[in-house]
Amino acid sequence: MDVAAAQVRLDEASAAIVAGVARTLPDWIESRVAFIADAWGRLDDATRDALDLAAREVAGSASARVVADLQALFAADAAAQRSTPLEVVRSATADVSALLASVGIPPVERDAFAERAFPEDVYGITPASLADLGDDALGPLQLAWGLAKTQVLRATL
């Protein structure tokens, strides 16, 4: 495959990831906040209402930041890209964790691997793949992006 065709595939996968993350990340953020708050079950009604409102605000701002970070990643030359789309998306867990901690919800118990792999994710919410955002089509896009990036890099050797 020539470099131009490989770049087209990479650009297509990148654009589809940005669109999918922009569409799904806000709901994922709100659902993770609700899931942990429901599991803890000790918030009074007023605090829970305020948390839900704050979750919508955080979902908007965190999603905008993540989408911008993805766009910046994808705008870089393939050889200069030092992270993956999943790593960028995972940065949203910090926003969720900060919000949950702000209302006094304590960290959850996690297994040893999760504690080592994601020490800052004290609520165990880190997505394992892009598909965890609620759209099964994002999982294959993650793979397509990686394969296309590899094709671009190999074509430029």
pLDDT score for 93: 98
Q: Which two tokens stand for residue 74?
A: 């994808």
pLDDT score for 157: 84
Q: Rg of the chain's alpha carbons, rounded to an integer? A: 18
Q: Which two tokens stand for residue 50?
A: 């305020």
Helices assigned H by DSSP within the chain: 3-40, 45-75, 85-90, 92-102, 112-117, 138-155
pLDDT score for 46: 98
Distance CA 14, CA 105 (A): 36
pLDDT in tens, 139-149: 999 999 999 99
Residues of the chain with pLDDT below 50 are none
Contact 148, 13 (CB under 8 A): yes
